Amino acid sequence: MDLVSVDIGGTHARFVIATIADDGTITLGEPETIHTEDHASFQTAWEDFRDRMGGSLPPRVSMAIAGPVGGDVIRFTNNPWIIRPALVQEKLGVEQYCIVNDFEAVAHAVARVEEDQFIHLTGPDKPLAPTGRLSVLGPGTGLGVAHLYREPDGTYRVSATEGGHIDFAPLDSIEDAILARLRKRHTRVSVERVVSGPAISDIYQTLAAMEGKPVTDEDDIAIWTRGQDGSDSLAAAAVDRFCLSLGSVAGDIALAQGGFGGVVIAGGLGYRIRDTLLKSGFAERFKAKGRFQELMASIPVKLITHPQPGLFGAAAAFAREYT
């Protein structure tokens, strides 16, 4: 059975033809990436993909969406598109559809991919727990959070959350300064304002102000690039500060969800900075939970390396619903 699997974030919408075999195995074709800002609606982006595929698509679609998916109208957290589920079949010309939160889809992928699709970040170097609760999170345009519960019989359940919008809790004077900068624009500062791709700009600007260095507003991608290639020591410090905050947030999510069977970092940004994460203070910050440090040190923390976990997971969610 073929279907269109779609992973829609704040910046990009990724489309692919997925195949679900009779034994449940999922394979993906070659993904197509479309910039959300280039299209007025999801329907026009769908039509663009259909044209790229020669003018016809399978009559089934599964969509992973960055934002809450309940209600009559689905609004994206970080892009202006909307989707009305009641009109999906008519507007897209499909017979069956599935809509899940983007990190709900990633949790489906975590449940289904093989162990060799993960790299170890910190904690005991062992596989994720075969039963119990796992936490899944990842930075991109925003910060996605979900959790996965593995049953003893081999089945699993996933739940989407909006954990990226919990309050940011600074742990030192530098993070106090980052919070103070953000408070000038946002009365309430969520962790997504600090642990997401665009957040590197505010971190960088804060560090520059502390050192009395004049900097101009610039694209966050340029800061990430200089921070990773070593050409800008201030940008490198901003990237390291980002990794510290990601460690803190990942530990908080594990505590809140009871994700003691393992924590998985996902998202394209997480994968791109994987080498930096391994050398940064991420691990120490993850464990730095006072009386619970010993518990935190017992949790395996992995990074999923599957190239398209959102697309794979959306197809897996469709398979759960229709096969």
Which positions ≥6 away from 29 have C-beta within 8 Å?
16, 17, 18, 19
Backbone angles phi, psi at 183, to 5 degrees: -65, -20
Annotated binding-site residue? 27 = no
Radius of gyration of the chain measured on its C-alpha atoms? 20
Tell me how far apart the alpha carbons of residues 288 and 272 are, in angstroms, rounded to a whole number: 25
Q: What are the C-alpha distances in Å from 63 to residues 4, 46, 85?
A: 8, 11, 11
Annotated binding-site residue? 10 = yes
Annotated binding-site residue? 88 = no
Annotated binding-site residue? 11 = yes
DSSP-derived letter for residue 87 is G
Which positions ≥6 away from 237 have C-beta within 8 Å?
207, 227
Annotated binding-site residue? 7 = yes
Q: Residues 4, 15: contact at Cβ < 8 Å?
A: yes
Annotated binding-site residue? 6 = yes
Name 132's bridge partners.
150
DSSP-derived letter for residue 126 is S
Residue numbers belonging to the annotated binding site for ATP: 6-11
Annotated binding-site residues read 6-11
